[in-house]
Amino acid sequence: MQISFLHWVFQTIPECLALVSLALVLAERKLEIKKVLFVGMALAVIVFGVRLLPLTFGVHTIIFIIALAALLNMATKANLSKCLLFALIAEIALIITEMAVVGVILYFIGLDFDYILSNSFLRIIVGWPQIIIVLLIALGINKRLNKTNSLSELS
């Protein structure tokens, strides 16, 4: 499923940044803005390229998980199998959040899902709540990890 440049800029890039943030905190790494931006943008470029390919539905998700794991491994030097696990958990969190949010939005606004997909502006707007939720989850985990680490340093 191809995406427009506008969709890539206003939804895919922020979504990749949120996914990378979540995967990094799951790997118990600090959220360094340079690392999040570098890995997130690299992932967004991969997403754009993969979306141009004529792939069966779902195959792109597997490629994204593998790409995120590889990028996470390069950025953190963590074990590749752990990076694969963190990438998988982050993607599952995004999928669950997306299903829940889109379901609620469709229920309240009463529009057809195909109509939303066909309208670039609506598609971007409907995509933002799950991006924000995933980012908030990442920030919450990061805050908890920093609090736990600062407490253990006091001991």
Reduced to 3 states (helix: H, G, I; strand: E, B; else coil), residue 54 is coil
Overall pTM surpassing 0.75 (yes/no): yes
Element holding 62 (H helix, E strand):
helix 59-76
Specify the DSSP class assigned to residue 11. I
Domain extent, residue 16, equals 5-154
- Number of domains within the chain: 1
Instruction: Give me the torsion for CA of 13, 15, 19, 25, rounded to 10°.
Output: 90
pLDDT tens per residue, range 42-81 = 999 999 999 999 999 889 999 999 999 999 999 999 999 9
Are the CB atoms for 101 and 64 separated by under 8 Å? no
pLDDT tens per residue, range 9-19 = 999 999 999 99
Are the CB atoms for 91 and 72 separated by under 8 Å? no
